[in-house]
Amino acid sequence: MSMRTFLSFALVLFIIAWSSSQVASQSIIQEPTTEPAGSISEVVATSDIKWGPLNPARGDKGPKAGTLWGDRTGSGPSGFLVKFVDRFSSPPHIHNITYRAVVISGLIYNGDPNAKEVWMPKGSVWTQPAGEVHITAADGHNNLVYVEIEEGPYLVRPTEEAFDNGERPVNVDVSNIVWLDASDITWIDQTTKPAFTHGPKLVFLWGMPQDDQLSGSLVKLPVGFSGKIRSRGSTFRAVVIQGRPQYRMPGETDVRTLAPGSYFGSTGKSVHQVSCEAGEECIVYVRMKGKFDVIQEPPKK
């Protein structure tokens, strides 16, 4: 073997090992766990949300917004819901900050004002860069999206103030999402863990799932799932995108059924008891600083 071939082979092995460590760090596992002490948790059901105008300048003519966490009018990060009436279409505009969004229901178009609309259904995601001219339109009877920002306030500005911050818009239709299951994510230790015929799945959307780093993922829980989502980082925020999962807050006995758009989160290490007993699969968007595990409990005998 030549030195060049040997070095190339060694480089490939290094890349594989590094990639494996990144993926395995945020895995689907099937192990029991206990609830850590000292965590602070919260839950906001859609029925608890107070709605107001997204853009106060447009008043009742514009979309409605409801806060889930943070304060979009302040200087820090926040997450909120936005409702659009059927056939809504905004004028061309820009935002002062970049935002990410997930479609919860209805059909949404977000893009160039002169382009043909490509409607994004439930489960689709997009990123809108700051300063980029665009429109947002809706085509459904119940158009609802989740929006999050890293730095507020969230403002709407005219196209005359457009600028290029170096970012580019990203639109991902739900049909283009590739889900990973336990065999994909924990394949290094697959022989040591029991297999589930229908287990949870993940897709990593943005960021690096490592200690003290932010990332965004979608978690899909199959019908009949019962288990836990264990947060091992400093902040954990989850928004229900699809289904009606049953949720029990750490340290409590009451179980709540969370409709799409509901939120649960925590600071510090915590364990969230979640099940998806009937109807359709449950999909949850998870924003995490650090690592988390999805833990499926064995079926009751």
Cα separation, 179 vs 281, whole angstroms: 13
Contact 273, 294 (CB under 8 A): no
pLDDT value at 116 more than 70:
yes
* DSSP state for residue 85 in the 8-state scheme: -
Tell me what the mean pLDDT of segment 198-222 comes to.
88
Predicted confidence at residue 36, as pLDDT, reads 52
Q: Kindly list the domain boundaries of the chain, sorted by start residue.
A: 33-44+178-296, 63-175
Superfamily of domain 63-175: Jelly Rolls (2.60.120.10)
Can you read off the two tokens belonging to residue 275? Answer: 């099940």
Can you read off the two tokens belonging to residue 238? Answer: 């989850």
Predicted confidence at residue 212, as pLDDT, reads 82
Over residues 178-208, the pLDDT tens digits come to 998 877 664 323 333 454 557 899 999 998 7
pTM, whole model, 2 decimals? 0.85
pLDDT value at 227 more than 60:
yes
pLDDT-based confidence at residue 257 (cuts at 50, 70, 90): very high
In the three-class reduction of DSSP (H, G, I as helix; E, B as strand; rest coil), residue 50 is classed as coil
In the three-class reduction of DSSP (H, G, I as helix; E, B as strand; rest coil), residue 16 is classed as helix
DSSP lists the bridge partners of residue 286 as 217, 238
Q: Helical H runs in 221-276?
A: none
Q: Give me the sheet containing 292-296, strands edge to edge.
A: 28-29, 292-296, 225-231, 270-276, 246-248, 255-257
The helix or strand, by DSSP H or E, that contains position 102, with its residue range, turns out to be strand 99-105
Predicted confidence at residue 251, as pLDDT, reads 74
Q: Which CATH architecture has domain 33-44+178-296?
A: Sandwich (2.60)
Same fold, 33-44+178-296 and 63-175: yes
